[in-house]
Amino acid sequence: RVGQHHVLTALTNALDQGRLHHAYLLSGTRGVGKTTIARILAKSLNCEQGISSHPCGVCDTCREIDQGNFVDLLEIDAASRTKVEDTRELLDNVQYRPARGRFKVYLIDEVHMLSRHSFNALLKTLEEPPPYVKFLLATTDPQKLPITILSRCLQFHLKSLDQTQIAKQLEWVLDQEGQPFEPRALQALAKAADGSMRDALSLTDQALAHGNGSVRLESVLAMLGTLDHRHLHQLLEAILRQDAPATMAKITEIATLGPDFDQLHAELEGLLHRIAMAQLLPASVQEQGRMPILCCQLAQAMSPEEVQLCYQIVLGGRKGSAWAP
């Protein structure tokens, strides 16, 4: 539940006030908490202590939902059950009351993968759902859902997590596990996760294996195939001095590190973008904490025309890198 405060606030108020909807749609990119929030909502609805925004987590129902074996929580992966026969078989059981819980909860993941006939079958149930049934739908692509389905759901869009949120959560996880780490390594992992907490945790597991039980910047950069930005600063400085031998030496040094060259171009583009921002709007860049000393020095050393020229060259190089010898 890292981030997503707008969704949690709305669901908390609805649960506390008893204003429950029969169908909820959670949308957002991968790994931002859609299925996790849906399971917590299922616990809130079925907790033996009563409907609450804070389920106890210790009753049999809460523990069984955590373990994935609660009889009245039916989790369906729509990507693997796209046929209308699968959907009808599933919905035929809607007429039966829950065996143990307060509500029978259908959690349908990647719901946009259902076929047109499957959506029609689902729509019939959403139009007149029994009072003891709740639908929790999760999708990464809500545009593919029919408007008739969307109009019958309470919709929540989960945002991608920013790097600070991800890094703080990784720090908390590693502290709980007692694993040593470097803060800059967590920043690198958070950036590579691209807004996905699940991806960040997977990368952290890899980093622990790669770093023999610790998360160090050097091993993380080697694992990700990225570079310390000091290499990029030094490369640009050599280009600005028009020092061809130093430029080629730095390129050779970078190549020996075995980076992902598409990612290298992307990092250079990002650096040049930050330099341009530092030249045009230094105050706003400083407020975001994105102008380290080296970047500031390059912003002063380069003219805006040079920055734009370098940016266009890097952009062209990235497009043509697939055909490089």
What is the per-residue burial (b if ≥16 Cβ within 10 Å, else e) of 110-123?
bbbbbeeebbebbe
Question: In angstroms, rounded to a whole number, what is the distance separating the alpha carbons of residues 269 and 257?
Answer: 20
Q: State the Cα angle at 168 between 166 and 174, rounded to 5°.
A: 100
Rounded-to-integer distance, Cα 187 and Cα 196, Å: 13
Mean of the pLDDT values across residues 302-321?
Answer: 88
Pick among 1.10.3720.10, 3.40.190.10, 1.10.8.60, 3.40.50.300: CATH of 163-224:
1.10.8.60
Domain 5-157 homologous superfamily, CATH: P-loop containing nucleotide triphosphate hydrolases (3.40.50.300)
Q: Is the model more confident about 103 or about 288?
A: 103
* CATH 1.20.272.10 domain range(s) in the chain: 229-323
The residues, ordered by sequence, that sit 6+ positions from 297 with a Cβ below 8 Å of its Cβ are none
Phi, psi at 242, each rounded to 5°: 55, 40
Residue 287 has pLDDT above 50, yes or no: no
Sheet with 23-27, edge to edge strand ranges: 73-77, 104-109, 133-139, 23-27, 154-157
Which is more confidently placed, 164 or 92?
Answer: 164
pLDDT digits (tens, 9 = 90+) for 204-260: 999 999 888 899 988 888 888 777 778 888 888 898 888 999 999 998 988 887 777
pLDDT at 289: 44
Q: What percent of the chain has pLDDT over 90?
A: 44
**Range list of β-strands (E), the chain:** 23-27, 73-77, 104-109, 133-139, 154-157
Q: Is the pLDDT of residue 40 over 90?
A: yes
d(CA 81, CA 172): 37
CATH of 229-323, one of 3.30.830.10, 3.40.50.460, 3.40.50.2300, 1.20.272.10: 1.20.272.10
Residue type, 99: A
Where is average pLDDT lowest: 77-86, 141-150, 272-281, 304-313? 77-86
Residue 1 confidence (pLDDT): 53
